[in-house]
Chain A
Amino acid sequence: AQSVTQLGSHVSVSEGALVLLRCNYSSSVPPYLFWYVQYPNQGLQLLLKYTTGATLVKGINGFEAEFKKSETSFHLTKPSAHMSDAAEYFCAVSENNFNKFYFGSGTKLNVKP
């Protein structure tokens, strides 16, 4: 079975600073990778995904992530944090049939003024 590890259940950055949220997965087959965001009192929504093609993918709100097969990683970054980025972020993996998704335990991002 797949597993997804998100290092750091809580990450705190200053407004304007780099955001780096880590995600590593275990997979014996090429995975499909996703980042979802959950804003306070809202449902999860897709931030970005990697399925095929370019390994650097861009998502909404200035976020991007890079699929690194050799490192089995899909870290999420944003050059400059904004207060509105405060939320919980979930990394997810699916295999090639999309019938099952494995989610990490989430990282809560706090942005300090």
Chain B
Amino acid sequence: GAGVSQSPSNKVTEKGKDVELRCDPISGHTALYWYRQSLGQGLEFLIYFQGNSAPDKSGLPSDRFSAERTGGSVSTLTIQRTQQEDSAVYLCASSLGGAGQETQYFGPGTRLLVL
């Protein structure tokens, strides 16, 4: 079936504005992850959703960042009052979840530029 999709592919915004990034996981995947990849850096874990459980938000860098996952499928990552240091590629991944099903499938990412 279709892979993980993310939108928009690119986003340019002004400092102080809010942005919403969308992730459509692979159908049937219960686990969903958000990562941030800054220039020259590895992937930084942001948040993890598994089924109906409370999300693991331990990677969110500040309270300006939030994410939700509606109906166990589509997820939205929201960054409020964007700052220039938020500029990065935001990657979403999904997996079937659990031992033996932990392979993550990544989307193409959203490249965010905060001016």
Q: Which A residues are within 8 Å of any B CB, using their own CB?
A: 4, 6, 9, 32, 36, 42-46, 49, 51, 90, 92, 94, 98-106
Contact = CB atoms under 8 A, between A and B. Distances in A.
Interface in B86-115: 91, 93, 95, 97-100, 102-109
A43 B107 CA distance: 6
B104 to A, nearest CB: 7
Interface of B: 3-4, 31, 33, 35, 40-45, 48, 50, 56, 58-59, 91, 93, 95, 97-100, 102-109
A42 B4 CA distance: 12
Contact of B106 (A6, A43, A51): A43
Contacts of B50: 99
A90 B42 contact: yes
A37 B41 CA distance: 15
A92 B31 CA distance: 17
Nearest to A52: B99
Nearest to A106: B42
A104 B42 contact: yes
A49 B102 CA distance: 10
Given A36-B104, A42-B108, A45-B105, 17 more contacts: A4-B42, A43-B109, A44-B43, A45-B106, A49-B103, A51-B99, A94-B102, A98-B97, A99-B48, A99-B50, A100-B45, A100-B56, A103-B35, A103-B44, A104-B42, A105-B41, A105-B42
